[in-house]
């Protein structure tokens, strides 16, 4: 995988679920999405992003989770963000 712009972000994960995920993937030599490094670097900020995402994507609402994922995928496609 290409290195990220910020080495410190990549090299200084804090204890978090994403840090464990990264280790598992690195140990097995598999590729993984580098957004995990962002979540592992600054968990005090990104935990709120995670909670926001959980609420808006899976919280009780009349739009089904599948519809909500389609909206997210459609928007990410138009933002040219493959992940």
Task: Assess 6 for contact with another protein (CB under 8 A).
Answer: yes
* CB-based contacts of 16, cutoff 8 Å, min separation 6: 39, 40, 43
Determine if residue 82 is left, alpha or beta; phi over 0 gives left, psi from -120 to 50 gives alpha, anything else beta: alpha
65: contact with another protein by CB under 8 A: no
Among 14, 17, 23, 48, binds another protein (CB under 8 A): 48
Closest CB to another protein among 11 and 23?
Answer: 11
* C-beta closer to another protein: residue 27 or 44: 44
């Amino acid at each position: 995988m290409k290195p990220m712009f910020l080495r410190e972000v990549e090299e200084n994960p804090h204890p978090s679920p994403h840090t464990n995920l990264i280790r598992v993937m690195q140990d097995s030599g598999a590729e993984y999405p580098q957004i995990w490094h962002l979540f592992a670097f600054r968990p005090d900020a990104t935990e709120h992003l995670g909670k926001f995402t959980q609420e808006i994507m899976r919280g009780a609402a009349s739009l089904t989770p599948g519809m909500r994922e389609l909206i997210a995928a459609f928007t990410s496609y138009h933002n040219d963000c493959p992940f």
